[in-house]
A and B are shown apart, each in its own frame.
Chain A
Amino acid sequence: MECRVLSIQSHVVRGYVGNKSASFPLQVLGFEVDSINSVQFSNHTGYSHWKGQVLTADELHVLYEGIKLNNVHHYDYVLTGYSRDTSFLEMVVDIIQELKRANPSLVYVCDPVLGDHGSMVCWHEHNHTQTHKCQFFTEVMDLLHAMGPDTVVITSSDLPSRLGDQFLVSLGSQRTVHPDGSRSTQRVRMDVPKVDAVFVGTGDLFAAMLLAWTHHYPNDLKTACEKTFSVMHHVIQRTISYAHELAGPGRRPSPPQLELRMVQSKADIEDPAIVMRATVIS
């Protein structure tokens, strides 16, 4: 498999967020990963302290220029996550447009990191007194398709799970345009066990693994999601067990202790045992 990903994300000296979270698993799965580090911090910002340096939009451009001057700006995928500010994000957009001209088949995997249970994305506004219906999310995903992406995954919603309180509902939608011009959409829903801990870097790992598994299952979002969610489950379980072991009985694990057990999860990354099934809806 000859597949090259350009990943533009944060770098932390210690721990697993951004490029640290995305690169190793993609490399383990055989992808060539070119990585532009948008920042270099000692660790993620959930620790008591963090220090480091950031890349400006201009410096990002300089790095891209180096790649372009050597005529190696040919990528199959671009992957982005957290972006610090508008100018940086706009430079990312410019770069992607150029890369898409160089390779029209390029797939841009975007995690639009804006917040969680916050008010920044209006249709994700979390309201304790009103639970959204599935129909609402179907419309949301269709709206997103209309804006651009062929594949949308809502990693967590407030839909009630039929498996109960301990589960949250994730949804996915993939729109395919057939050779005759007609369109079909596969929508899937998964009930995912909630986890009683705050993890950092899981979103970055998720996006990277969704890239990998949609690459292997380009017309089967159901399977791609099952593999992606399953690998997340294995990594998180391993991480929680280890964190509690380190913290000791009755004590809450610290951010360093909760770092993802990434290298220890290599076998799961390579071949995740499926532990949850996606249901195809409508």
Chain B
Amino acid sequence: HEVPMHLPCRVLSIQSHVVRGYVGNKSASFPLQVLGFEVDSINSVQFSNHTGYAHWKGQVLTAEELNVLYEGIKLNNVNHYDYVLTGYSRDVSFLEMVVDIVAELKEANPSLVYVCDPVMGDHGWQMDKKMLLPVYRDKVVPVANILTPNQFEAELLTGRKMKTEKDAVEIMDLLHKMGPETVVLTSTDLHSKLGDPYLVVLGSQRIVKPDGSSSSQKIRMDIPKVDAVFVGTGDLFAAMLLAWTHHHPKDLKAACEKTVSLMHHVIKRTITYANEMAGPGKKPSPAQLELRMVQSKKDIEDPALVVEATVL
């Protein structure tokens, strides 16, 4: 059964669009809509498919064109959002325009929650995203409310290395100081007690109490590694974290368990199908590895829990 949405909830998602497949807005919109969110989407690019295929072609949106679209929304006085969601950003000017838009939207609605995936790379820089670091660190993260960096990105933003769980906790606290009340380290190389086949996800939510004091809930999950390269999973993760923190605003444990569980179901369904398509002994292609999104509708609506988070 699904949790009913009592109040209309509108998300502005500024991400890539691919004609075929599931990354960016293609990855985020359908699951959020299935969960009853109104999703306004600005497509930062339109490509035939994601860049992991042998070929890809398409067009990009400039920072100016982004501004024009936002102007249209504003002129109609419908620039009122409960959430903003962003992921991969192509260049500095585009990211800076996003920051300006978020700042204005926050003026229009001070309760707006900005969910930010600070995409810069993973175990190394993605293409030439080094220029984005200062913008993320100094301008974006300070206005983010929920941040979903991986280990690489968290280390870059804080200038600290993560070798132990203690390091991770300190890094999350540093990130809280920089802005976001909720931080989820979406994947780390930390050692898992369950062994090598598992990776460690950590989360921290800072709550400010009415008396002004603050406390934080920190959680850890050990989740099975997957022997395949998926694209779009980070975008799906951020979208579903938005949804489940919306339903469990003061319970990061519950929100993360649902989010991570849903990821598990989608990935498992995807791998099974991909291997079936590829045939025995053959490695599935990027096309075959596209997330089985529409087939996972029921899991999206009500993910069966397959992981339990430990409260630290």
The verdict on A70 contacting B48 (CB below 8 Å), with A42-B72, A51-B75 known, is yes
Q: Is B17 engaged at the interface, CB distance under 8 Å to the other chain?
A: yes
Most central of A28, A64, A69, A72 by chain B CB within 10 Å: A72
Q: Is B49 engaged at the interface, CB distance under 8 Å to the other chain?
A: yes
Q: Digitize A186-224: 1 where CB-to-B-CB distance is under 8 Å, 0 elsewhere.
A: 000000000000000000000000000000000000000
Q: Is B166 engaged at the interface, CB distance under 8 Å to the other chain?
A: no
The verdict on A51 contacting B71 (CB below 8 Å), with A24-B33, A30-B294 known, is yes
Cβ < 8 Å to B, chain A residues 229-262: 256, 262
Residues of A within 8 A of B41 (CB): 11, 13
**Bound Cα distance A11, B61 (Å):** 14
The smallest beta-carbon distance between B160 and chain A, in angstroms, is 38
Contact of B73 among A13, A63, A69 (CB under 8 A): A13
The smallest beta-carbon distance between A258 and chain B, in angstroms, is 13
Q: Digitize B136-166: 1 where CB-to-A-CB distance is under 8 Å, 0 elsewhere.
A: 0000000000000000000000000000000
Q: Digitize B77-92: 1 where CB-to-A-CB distance is under 8 Å, 0 elsewhere.
A: 0100000000000000
Asked whether A52 lies within 8 Å of B68 as measured between CB atoms, the reply is yes
Asked whether B71 lies within 8 Å of A42 as measured between CB atoms, the reply is yes
Contact of B297 among A14, A28, A35, A47 (CB under 8 A): A28
Name the CB-closest residue of A to B69. A42
Residues of B within 8 A of A70 (CB): 48-49, 53-56, 287
Cβ < 8 Å to A, chain B residues 271-312: 287, 293-295, 297
Q: Digitize B8-49: 1 where CB-to-A-CB distance is under 8 Å, 0 elsewhere.
A: 000000000101100000000110011011111111001111
Residues of A within 8 A of B39 (CB): 263
Q: Is A268 engaged at the interface, CB distance under 8 Å to the other chain?
A: no
Asked whether B71 lies within 8 Å of A66 as measured between CB atoms, the reply is no
Q: Is B58 engaged at the interface, CB distance under 8 Å to the other chain?
A: yes
Name the CB-closest residue of B to A4. B20
The smallest beta-carbon distance between B65 and chain A, in angstroms, is 6
Name the CB-closest residue of A to B71. A51
Q: Is B215 engaged at the interface, CB distance under 8 Å to the other chain?
A: no
The verdict on A263 contacting B69 (CB below 8 Å), with A30-B295, A48-B75 known, is no
Q: Is B214 engaged at the interface, CB distance under 8 Å to the other chain?
A: no
Name the CB-closest residue of A to B38. A263
Q: Is B126 engaged at the interface, CB distance under 8 Å to the other chain?
A: no
Contact of B49 among A30, A43, A67, A262 (CB under 8 A): A67
Residues of B within 8 A of A279 (CB): none
Name the CB-closest residue of B to A71. B287
Residues of A within 8 A of B75 (CB): 48-49, 51
The smallest beta-carbon distance between B81 and chain A, in angstroms, is 10
Most central of A34, A47, A70 by chain B CB within 10 Å: A70
Asked whether B294 lies within 8 Å of A42 as measured between CB atoms, the reply is no
The smallest beta-carbon distance between A221 and chain B, in angstroms, is 26
Asked whether A36 lies within 8 Å of B297 as measured between CB atoms, the reply is no
Contact of A66 among B38, B42, B57 (CB under 8 A): B57
Q: On chain A, which size bracket covers the interface? A: 35 or more
Mostly helix, strand, loop or mixed at chain B's interface?
mixed
Q: Is B76 engaged at the interface, CB distance under 8 Å to the other chain?
A: yes
The smallest beta-carbon distance between B51 and chain A, in angstroms, is 11
**Bound Cα distance A49, B71 (Å):** 9
Residues of A within 8 A of B71 (CB): 42, 51
Name the CB-closest residue of A to B73. A42
Q: Is A31 engaged at the interface, CB distance under 8 Å to the other chain?
A: yes
**Bound Cα distance A24, B295 (Å):** 13
Residues of A within 8 A of B287 (CB): 70, 72
The smallest beta-carbon distance between A60 and chain B, in angstroms, is 10
Asked whether B72 lies within 8 Å of A263 as measured between CB atoms, the reply is no
Contact of B57 among A32, A47, A51, A62 (CB under 8 A): A62
Contact of A50 among B40, B59, B65, B72 (CB under 8 A): B72
Cβ < 8 Å to A, chain B residues 165-221: none
Contact of B78 among A36, A43, A266 (CB under 8 A): A43
The smallest beta-carbon distance between B101 and chain A, in angstroms, is 12
Asked whether A27 lies within 8 Å of B30 as measured between CB atoms, the reply is yes
The smallest beta-carbon distance between A36 and chain B, in angstroms, is 5
Cβ < 8 Å to A, chain B residues 254-283: none
Q: Is A156 engaged at the interface, CB distance under 8 Å to the other chain?
A: no
The smallest beta-carbon distance between A91 and chain B, in angstroms, is 14
Q: Is A41 engaged at the interface, CB distance under 8 Å to the other chain?
A: yes
Asked whether A263 lies within 8 Å of B49 as measured between CB atoms, the reply is no
**Bound Cα distance A63, B21 (Å):** 13
Asked whether A67 lies within 8 Å of B20 as measured between CB atoms, the reply is yes
Q: Is A129 engaged at the interface, CB distance under 8 Å to the other chain?
A: no
**Bound Cα distance A16, B12 (Å):** 15
The verdict on A69 contacting B294 (CB below 8 Å), with A28-B34, A263-B36 known, is no
- Which A residues are within 8 Å of any B CB, using their own CB? 11, 13-14, 23-24, 27-28, 30-37, 40-43, 47-53, 55, 59, 62-67, 69-70, 72, 256, 262-264, 266
User: Can you list 19 A-B contacts (CB < 8 A)?
Assistant: A13-B72, A37-B17, A40-B46, A41-B69, A42-B71, A42-B76, A51-B72, A52-B69, A52-B72, A63-B47, A66-B58, A67-B48, A69-B57, A70-B48, A70-B54, A70-B287, A263-B34, A263-B36, A263-B37
Which 6 A-B residue pairings sit nearest by Cβ, starting from the closest?
Answer: A42-B72, A66-B48, A66-B57, A51-B72, A49-B75, A69-B55
